[in-house]
Amino acid sequence: MAGLEVRDVSVRYGASSGSVRGGGSAGVTTAVDQVSLTVAPGEVVALLGPSGCGKSSLLRAVAGLEPLSEGHVVYDGEDLAGVPVHKRRFGLMFQEGQLFPHRDVGRNVAYGLEIQELSRAEREARVTALLDLVGLAGYERRAVPTLSGGEQQRVALARALAPRPRLLLLDEPLSALDRQLRERLAGEVRVALVETGTTAVFVTHDHTEASAVADRVGVMDSGRLLQVAAPGELRAAPASDRVAEFLGLRG
């Protein structure tokens, strides 16, 4: 299958190389519990759930930053076991603090392009197009410390998209921003992902944000994936009270 396949993946902390069964042993946390999920090429999937439910652990496992205790991460049919983080051709974007403060905006965005064989003119054209895409046309020479939090995350998004990752993994990228800005930016992030045809997994604890960003939303609780569906379908037919609660449909 093309795109991402997560097959029966478990992530445990405090276990020695996945040898603990059942996750019930003292000192062992099962952060991700036999999760299976697919993300088709060009699709944006959000992982939604409360703090501590295992969203980041799953994202990090896909990135190759966290070892799997069980299961497989497969991309375009290739099992990525043994493929290190930097060889997966995945992009990562986090909550904050990812920009190089001493590089200007243009050179931040160009960072991932520097190892690619592009002429200077091609590189500059790509930086210009990406800044345009994230609503920061003309910001090339701006210094990072002069940017607002929202502008910094727009630059981080442009930088993450620049090398055309085959999968972009976003971990609560808007959580440090205030609510109003977060809602607006969630829509803009979706436009940027769709316009660039980027396949993405977006982690959030905010159901409004998940619905604004994603084609499908996966609801997680205690390491388990409870339901995955389009936002409208989830709201119309939540599979359980728990799912309804996380969607803000109950008390």
* Residue 7 exposed, middle or buried by CB count within 10 Å (0-12, 13-18, 19+): middle
Q: Does 53 bind ligand ADP (CB under 6 A)?
A: yes
57 binds ligand ADP (CB under 6 A): yes
Q: Which residues, other chains included, contact 207 with Cβ-Cβ below 8 Å and sequence gap of 6+?
A: 48, 217, 246, 247, 248
**Residue 55 in the binding site for ligand ADP (CB under 6 A):** yes
- Among 54, 64, 71, 218, indicate the residue that binds ligand ADP (CB under 6 A): 54
Residue 3: name the closest of 235, 216, 227, 233 by CA.
Answer: 216
Instruction: Kindly tell me which of 55 and 88 has the beta carbon lying closer to ligand ADP.
Output: 55
Spell out the residues 6+ positions from residue 74 whose beta carbon is closer than 8 angstroms to its own. Answer: 1, 4, 5, 6, 7, 80
Residue 69 makes contact with ligand ADP by CB under 6 A:
no
Query: 158 with 136: CB under 8 angstroms?
Result: yes
Least CB distance to ligand ADP at residue 53 (A): 4
41 interacts with ligand ADP by CB under 6 A: no
Closest approach of ligand ADP to the CB of residue 118, in Å? 35
Q: Which listed range, 44-52, 92-100, 161-169, 182-190, lies at the site for ligand ADP (CB under 6 A)?
A: 44-52
Paired tokens of 228: 């995955």
Interface residues with ligand ADP (CB under 6 A) are 13, 29, 31, 49, 51-57
